[in-house]
Amino acid sequence: MTTSLPRLAGLTTLFVSLVIPAIHAQQPGPGEPLTLVEAMARAGREAASVELADLGLRQARLQVSEARAGFLPRVDVSEAWQRGDQPVFAFGSLLAQRRFTAADFDVNRLTRPDPLNNFRAAVTVEQTLFDGALRARLRMARLAHAVSERQRQRSERDAMTAAASAYGEVLRFEAMRQSAEAAEAAASADLERAERRRDAGLVTDADLLAVSVHLAEVRARRIGAAAEEQVARAELNLAMGAPLDSRFMLTPVAEVDPAEPLAGLETEALRARPDLQVAELRRELAESAVDQVRATFLPQVVFRGGLEWNGGNFGQRAQSWVIGTEVRLNVFAGLADRAQLARAAVARQTSDVRAREAADRVRLEVRAAHARVEAARATVTVAESAIDQAREGQRIVRDRYDGGLADIVAVLRAAEALLDAEAQAIAARAALTVHHARLIAAVGR
């Protein structure tokens, strides 16, 4: 049994020595320097969600132009040719061509006319003089454009927050990988120390195997951290709208300043958050929808004018014109318009409730983000103190092990304690960065 322990330790060391260099060889270089501010700014410009919001804003701008067109005259030009012996067509065409004579009053010619051609060119103009619904539609289009602008701002804010979260994750896994590398170096030194003590007859092969297993576990942790780092880097590239294979050298985040008083942050959020502005604009949209339905009960006044040329052949035509106005009044539409008005009123009430709910949700988000920032800051302080204690404890245990006063289990426990403390501190620092970015987003800055 004792001869198999060194063999197992040797196989473990051989496996790790073959796998680890291959993984290192696949990792790219450090890449272009990138700060948190630059990553967030790039996400606010180039993220796919922001690009989609820009396209939506363009559509809303075109809808305003479309609604404004209702106040401008409509001009149509047409050219038509017809041929036939239909009595009404023949009678009207002759009149329009100003070629109708007394002989055309003959009953046979009226009822059985000869086939004839009519070439007709026309220019028609229509201008709405009064339509209350047009103004309501234009106001709704302008409000929809304002909503799209706020949604674009919200998309930009969300993209920047996502980039900050991804940035923090990259820093976290990068620091975890570096911590695991340091732990791997320490474990390698422990393995050499155990080998010397084994050769001196102070410990057994079991101690050597335990250290070898610990070394393999630390290396496995480094492999996992390196893989998660690659995934986090790809997520950061996606958040910034960069190619997934891009490589950046992230700059450590400076210490986050203490959060401002909660009351002031809530007041600022209620004034600056784009989603609250969207809720208010949607409430105004609902009011405009009510006005639009009410406008259907008002008369519509339209002016029309036309100029046309009719002839029996293409080159010779007679000119005529007509102008007039039309007034339309909705007297009865099967009560559908009244149902639409009631439905629009309910939609307006719904928008009021949603606006109040949005304000409460913003307050909750600010409070939650503020509490998480403070908790993360306290966790960082505790974790950094734990690192110092774990590092000093590891030094003491190693000295005792060298003096024969501690066993290998104590050495491994001290190493694990230091590794766990460093992992907790890394996670706490990354969480502080992410929560602070989310607090800024919750305030609407």
Query: So what's the pLDDT on residue 1?
Result: 36
Q: Domain residues of the chain, as ranges?
A: 4-72+131-296+333-443, 74-130+299-332
Which class is domain 74-130+299-332?
mainly beta
Query: So what's the pLDDT on residue 108?
Result: 86
pLDDT exceeds cutoff 50 at 18: no
302 strand-pairing partners: 128, 326
Tell which wins on pLDDT, 11 or 59. 59
pLDDT exceeds cutoff 70 at 16: no
Asked if residue 64 lies in contact with residue 145, where contact means CB atoms within 8 angstroms, the answer is yes
Q: What is the pLDDT of residues 307-329, one digit of tens each?
A: 999 999 988 999 999 999 989 88
Structure tokens at 312: 């029996």
Query: So what's the pLDDT on residue 311?
Result: 93
User: Mean of the per-residue pLDDT values for the chain?
Assistant: 81
Of 112-121, 174-183, 360-369, 402-411, give the range with the top mean pLDDT. 112-121
Q: What is the pLDDT of residues 61-116, one digit of tens each?
A: 998 998 888 888 999 999 999 999 999 999 999 999 998 888 888 888 888 898 99
Does CATH place domain 4-72+131-296+333-443 in 3.30.450.20?
no
Structure tokens at 23: 């993984």
Please give the average per-residue pLDDT across 291-295, as a whole number: 81
State whether residue 324 is helix, strand or coil: strand
Residue 164 Cα distances to 9, 169, 175, 275, angstroms: 43, 9, 16, 20
pLDDT exceeds cutoff 60 at 11: no
* Residue type at position 236: L
Q: Strand order of the sheet with strand 116-130?
A: 74-84, 116-130, 300-311, 318-328
State whether residue 101 is helix, strand or coil: coil
Neighbours of 59 (CB within 10 A): 12
pLDDT exceeds cutoff 90 at 2: no
Tell which wins on pLDDT, 260 or 192. 192
360 strand-pairing partners: none
Tell which wins on pLDDT, 309 or 24. 309
Query: So what's the pLDDT on residue 324?
Result: 92
Query: So what's the pLDDT on residue 255?
Result: 60
Query: So what's the pLDDT on residue 13?
Result: 39
Query: So what's the pLDDT on residue 370?
Result: 85
What's the rounded Cα separation, in Å, for the pair 436 and 426? Answer: 16
Instruction: Give the burial string for 62-98 (b: 16+ CB within 10 Å, else e).
Output: ebbeebeeeeeeeeeeeeeeeeeeeeebbeebbebbe
Q: Above pLDDT 70, what percent of the chain?
A: 90
**Which of 17-26, 30-39, 45-54, 323-332 shows the lowest per-residue confidence on average (mean pLDDT)?**
17-26
Please give the average per-residue pLDDT across 338-350, as a whole number: 83
Tell which wins on pLDDT, 199 or 49. 49
